[in-house]
Structure 1
Amino acid sequence: MTASTLRPSAGASAQRLRELLGRVPGLLAADVDALVSCWQRPVQLRRGDFLIQAGQTDHYLYFIDEGVLRIFLPTQQEEICVGFGYASTLICSFPSFVEGRPSSYSIQTLKASQLLAITRADLLDLVERHPNIGRFWRTEMERAVVGRIEREIDLLLPEPQRRLDRLRARSPHLFQLVPRKYIASYLRMTPETLSRLR
């Protein structure tokens, strides 16, 4: 299944997005209003549905209101988990979203999920017209880059225990949200190794 089930109203999700953005330093009420007004495409997915599959082009950035999703690279041998999304975070197939090319990644729900989407064109228009939104977006991108660097460090460490310890320190909540086999894939170890280390 793919992201084709749209809810008739985005009201409750938009209100939660508004509340989160209202706590962002530097965003004025007018900035929040402008942002929220463009997040108007609601998406509701059941467990196991795909938000996007490898080979599709991702034209949307999503705010996760409820749910948990995994980002993975499908190969002939396995599905390599490269990240997760959960409530109050943003998600997309980032290379596809930025460059407008088919995604190498798939994004699939691990539990029923509700999201709101904004198009790339609308987001870039907001960034251009609202300096505070531009600063907010740059901050989000900086955080994403730091996160990717931390992830690369994890993968370079030969000791499974150190990879696990770094993930526990950085994102302890994942262990309550994500099934063990996907955490093991993310850490590039077998589920058995993860069970032994835990």
Structure 2
Amino acid sequence: MPAPVSDPSSSAHDLLAALLRQVPFLTDDDITAFVGLWRKYASLKRADFLIQAGQTEHHLYFVNEGALRIYYPSRAEEICVGFAYTNTLVCSFPSFVAGLPSEYCIQALRKSELIGISRTDFTAIMEARPNFARFWRLELERAVMGRIEREIDLLLPEPERRLERLLARSPHLFQLVPKKYIASYLRMTPETLSRLR
């Protein structure tokens, strides 16, 4: 008799709940209510898209496993603006917030498994549960600080300083992401990155 097939999203829900239990002001009831709303499951092969430019983002995703790149497609090049990997959240944020078509693409760099919560459910639980509104405010503050650091990186004229700052902040990226995408993120050629490394 074959073994029963488990729900592939259950491990993602368990991982998300475990991470949320590390937030001291979230109650077990808060976490149970929140995790139950992550109803969309996405399994991507390498090079599959989570979202493409022109599509509207309706979900916020939690990466259970894998790695993805967020990039802006232009005629001249694909400009990498960020990455997502295990235990992080990802979406085309401007599209998710404003309900407008995305200007960004999110593409899997390797096999990736994600779960998603709809914008409607996310908004409703933020309004219904003050602890989650507080949690989200703290996450947004952290994201804004990260974006400010990124802006500073891009303003630095010396490529070696941009690389030093990334290595200090996110050394793990070099194990997860192909070098050509890190080079794009740092606004330098892959050859320059190889020379500096």
Please say whether Structure 1 and Structure 2 have the same fold, judged by a TM-score greater than 0.5. Answer: yes
Q: CA deviation at 1:9?
A: 4.2
The runs of 5 or more residues in structure 2 that have no matched partner are: 1-5
Count of residue correspondences = 192
Q: CA deviation at 1:121?
A: 1.0
Q: CA deviation at 1:13?
A: 1.1
Report the TM-score, using the length of structure 2 for normalisation. Answer: 0.95
Aligned to 1:4: none
Are 1:125 and 2:124 counterparts?
yes
Q: CA deviation at 1:150?
A: 0.6
Please identify runs of 4+ aligned residues in structure 1 that moved more than 4 A: none
Q: CA deviation at 1:8?
A: 5.5
Aligned to 1:182: 181
Instruction: Give deviations 1:62-119, integer Å, cap 9, x for gaps.
Output: 0000000000000001100000000000000000000000000000000000000001
Aligned to 2:82: 83
Q: Structure 2 matches for 1:2-151, cutoff 5 A?
A: 9-151=8-150
CA–CA distance in 1 between the matches of 2:83 and 2:90? 8
> Over the residues paired in the alignment, what is the CA RMSD in angstroms?
1.0
Q: In structure 1, give the amino acid aligned to 2:93.
A: F
CA–CA distance in 2 between the matches of 1:175 and 1:160? 16
Instruction: Give deviations 1:13-32, integer Å, cap 9, x for gaps.
Output: 11111111111121110110
CA–CA distance in 1 between the matches of 2:172 and 2:23? 22
Tell me the percent identity.
Answer: 62
CA–CA distance in 2 between the matches of 1:179 and 1:164? 15
CA–CA distance in 1 between the matches of 2:24 and 2:187? 37
CA–CA distance in 2 between the matches of 1:13 and 1:192? 37
The runs of 5 or more residues in structure 1 that have no matched partner are: 1-6
Q: Matched residue of 2:65: which SS?
A: strand
Instruction: Give deviations 1:101-150, integer Å, cap 9, x for gaps.
Output: 00000000000000000011111111111111110011111111111111
Q: In structure 2, give the amino acid aligned to 1:42.
A: Y
Instruction: Give deviations 1:134-178, integer Å, cap 9, x for gaps.
Output: 100111111111111111110000000000000000101001100
CA–CA distance in 1 between the matches of 2:195 and 2:159? 11
Q: In structure 2, give the amino acid aligned to 1:121.
A: T
Instruction: Give deviations 1:21-69, integer Å, cap 9, x for gaps.
Output: 1111211101100110101111101011000000100010000000000
Report the TM-score, using the length of structure 1 for normalisation. Answer: 0.95
CA–CA distance in 1 between the matches of 2:114 and 2:63? 5
